[in-house]
């Protein structure tokens, strides 16, 4: 390819034209066309269900497009399997790593690519080549370390090295920062910049607009299965990208304002929970006051989920004491979830499918779970279907649930609307204490704004809120105080005014 001036130009690393993919009646990708410059970091953003995952799955051979064409570095190719994608120079780092925990780094990298000539000779050659790649791309890692002993950020380096070892010139990263601390995220960005400098093309899939602005050169926006915009990062903003994703203006920051905390509603003293031979919760103490949000931050798997279940009565503490509105809960005085609810506590669980909804139930029935004895829906023994549906219709209107159909099965709503049903049910009970886990997990950016407003509004009405989220931006945006957990322990509680991504990130990594 040559320019108008006769200068040779590098063909696009990836060129997609008219890509379409349907699943039954669902058009996941509709006439997608996209060019990704070689040696660039290109972002793709969009709401859940916008078609991002389907598109990159087509590129990596998980799915085959119904129609359209794909070019890689100017050559027409057909990608019918992951092996064909790898052969074309495409590698992928998945959100959940594909590593064998008990294998060494070296064993994981060469797994499936051992070659011939004996295993020992293959490993010796591989060690030499991987050491060269690690030096070239700034991916330092101990090749003899057991993967399960490595921090998450280093495991991600192993995944990147594995793709490069297989000859990847194009690297797809799907939500790569979801399990990283802020410091690990910064290190990943440095690695991506190094890859770019060495000519590797990076396709970066994320829902975090701050990250798109920080590390990409160009960004493409998908909405409803279609590609709706392409932007140079130097010529756009998070506000514009959010509006392109949703189709309307979205307020993405500035919802929080100063709280006016009151009396202590919840106190935990030296709380402990054993499991699997090691403490899941270890000597955790804190309190939450009326009219404040205590955010609990930490990389997933550091005890936040278990702590929320202790507070909700789903688990019984092994040690310590919980006091809610003067009522004590301990190993000798356990409390059931229904008893906790009777103390004025509402609970939005982390997993709405497993614990928040009964998916075969209608929306009206799911919206009544835990509140079956509320007089407005029956006499405490029998439901009145008309009153049940009327109550659900009111909640749907208040929380903008779409479609506003109380009879529709819970399983047929989108993730964001399922979350709104759970939030509507719990917030409408006017709790004195709200336990909320991952309130915006799998939720579109427009619904995130709505949910954040509801939480701040409830706080302003005097509710004490315990907020657990792996999204550090969410914790920093909503919390009045922040407790950071690592390895089942509290690393400390800091006021909002002293909290930033760096200080919280160090605590998340276990640095006191």
Q: Is the Cα torsion angle 264, 268, 269, 270 positive or negative in sign?
A: negative
- Give 99-136 pLDDT, tens digit per residue: 999 999 999 999 877 665 556 677 888 899 999 999 98
Average pLDDT in the 52-69 region? Answer: 93
**pLDDT given for residue 379 in this prediction:** 63
Average pLDDT in the 168-172 region? Answer: 95
Q: For strand 41-46 and strand 201-205, is the pairing parallel, antiparallel, or unpaired?
A: parallel
Mean pLDDT, rounded, of the chain:
91
**pLDDT given for residue 3 in this prediction:** 46
Q: Which fold has domain 253-344+431-512?
A: Rossmann fold (3.40.50)
**pLDDT given for residue 458 in this prediction:** 97
Burial class (CB in 10 A: 0-12, 13-18, 19+), 24: exposed
**pLDDT given for residue 5 in this prediction:** 47
Q: Alpha-carbon distance 206 to 219, whole Å?
A: 11
Q: Which residues pair with 485 in a beta bridge?
A: 490
**pLDDT given for residue 434 in this prediction:** 98
Q: What is each CA distance from 430 to 311, 325, 345, 423, 457, in whole angstroms?
A: 18, 15, 9, 11, 11
> Domain 14-246 is of which CATH architecture?
3-Layer(aba) Sandwich (3.40)
Strand locations in 169-307 (E): 170-174, 201-205, 218-223, 226-232, 264-275, 278-289, 293-297
Q: Which residues pair with 142 in a beta bridge?
A: none
- Give 1-60 pLDDT, tens digit per residue: 544 444 446 689 999 999 999 988 888 999 999 999 999 999 999 887 788 889 999 999
Task: Lowest mean pLDDT of 76-85, 216-225, 243-252, 433-442, name the range.
Answer: 243-252
**pLDDT given for residue 8 in this prediction:** 46
Check if 14-246 and 253-344+431-512 are the same fold.
Answer: yes
Residue 332: pLDDT band by 50, 70, 90 thresholds? very high
Q: To which H or E segment does residue 458 belong?
A: helix 445-460
Q: For strand 481-486 and strand 293-297, is the pairing parallel, antiparallel, or unpaired?
A: parallel
Residue 183: pLDDT band by 50, 70, 90 thresholds? confident
Is this structure's pTM higher than 0.85? Answer: no
Strand locations in 276-412 (E): 278-289, 293-297, 319-324, 327-329, 345-348
The pLDDT > 90 percentage for the chain reads 71
CA angle 431, 434, 439 (to 5 degrees): 130
Q: Which residue has tokens 């509290």?
A: 490
Task: Tally Cβ neighbours within 10 Å of residue 25.
Answer: 5
Do the Cβ atoms of 240 and 248 come closer than 8 Å? no
Q: Where are the domains of the chain?
A: 14-246, 253-344+431-512, 359-430
Do the Cβ atoms of 158 and 141 come closer than 8 Å? yes
**pLDDT given for residue 180 in this prediction:** 83
Q: Is the Cα torsion angle 121, 122, 127, 133 positive or negative in sign?
A: positive
Residue 206: pLDDT band by 50, 70, 90 thresholds? confident
**pLDDT given for residue 12 in this prediction:** 93
């Amino acid at each position: 390819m040559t320019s108008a001036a006769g200068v040779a130009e590098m063909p696009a690393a990836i060129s997609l034209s008219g890509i379409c993919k349907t699943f039954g009646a669902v058009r996941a990708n509709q006439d997608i066309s996209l060019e990704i410059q070689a040696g660039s970091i290109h972002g793709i953003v969009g709401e859940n269900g916008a078609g991002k995952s389907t598109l990159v799955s087509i590129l990596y051979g998980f799915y085959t497009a119904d129609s359209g064409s794909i070019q890689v570095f100017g050559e027409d190719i057909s990608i019918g399997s992951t092996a064909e994608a790898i052969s074309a120079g495409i590698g992928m780092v998945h959100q959940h790593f594909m590593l064998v925990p008990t294998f060494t780094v070296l064993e994981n990298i060469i797994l499936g690519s051992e070659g011939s000539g004996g295993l020992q000779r293959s490993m010796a050659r591989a060690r030499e080549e991987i050491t060269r790649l690690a030096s070239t791309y700034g991916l330092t890692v101990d090749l003899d370390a057991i993967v399960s002993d490595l921090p998450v950020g280093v495991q991600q380096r192993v995944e990147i090295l594995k793709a490069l070892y297989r000859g990847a010139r194009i690297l797809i990263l799907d939500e790569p920062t979801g399990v990283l601390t802020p410091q690990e995220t910064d290190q990943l960005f440095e690695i991506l910049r190094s890859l770019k400098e060495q000519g590797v093309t990076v396709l970066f899939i994320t829902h975090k607009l701050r990250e798109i602005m920080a590390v990409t050169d160009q960004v493409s926006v998908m909405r409803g299965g279609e590609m709706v915009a392409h932007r140079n990062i130097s010529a756009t903003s998070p506000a514009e990208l959010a509006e392109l994703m949703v189709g309307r203006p979205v307020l993405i920051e500035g919802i929080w304002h100063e709280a006016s905390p009151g009396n202590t509603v919840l106190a935990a003293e030296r709380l402990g929970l054993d499991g699997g031979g090691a403490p899941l919760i270890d000597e955790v103490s804190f309190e939450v006051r009326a009219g404040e949000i205590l955010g609990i931050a930490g990389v997933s798997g550091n005890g936040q989920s278990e702590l929320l279940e202790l507070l909700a009565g789903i688990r019984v503490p092994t040690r310590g004491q919980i006091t809610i509105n003067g009522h004590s809960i301990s190993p000798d005085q356990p409390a059931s979830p229904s008893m906790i609810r009777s103390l004025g506590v509402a609970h939005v669980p982390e997993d709405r499918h497993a614990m928040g909804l009964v998916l075969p139930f209608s929306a009206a029935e799911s919206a009544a779970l835990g509140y079956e004895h509320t007089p407005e829906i029956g006499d405490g023994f029998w439901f009145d279907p008309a009153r049940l549906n009327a109550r659900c219709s009111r909640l749907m209107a208040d929380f903008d649930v779409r479609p506003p159909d109380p009879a529709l099965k819970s399983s047929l709503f989108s993730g964001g609307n399922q979350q709104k049903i759970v939030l509507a049910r719990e917030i409408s009970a006017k709790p004195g204490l709200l336990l909320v886990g991952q309130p915006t997990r799998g939720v579109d950016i427009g619904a995130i704004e709505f949910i954040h407003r509801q939480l701040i509004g409830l706080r302003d009405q005097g509710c004490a809120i315990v907020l657990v989220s792996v999204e550090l931006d969410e914790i920093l945006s909503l919390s009045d105080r922040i407790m950071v957990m690592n390895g089942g322990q509290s690393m400390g509680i800091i006021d909002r005014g002293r909290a930033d991504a760096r200080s919280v990130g160090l605590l998340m990594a276990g640095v006191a």
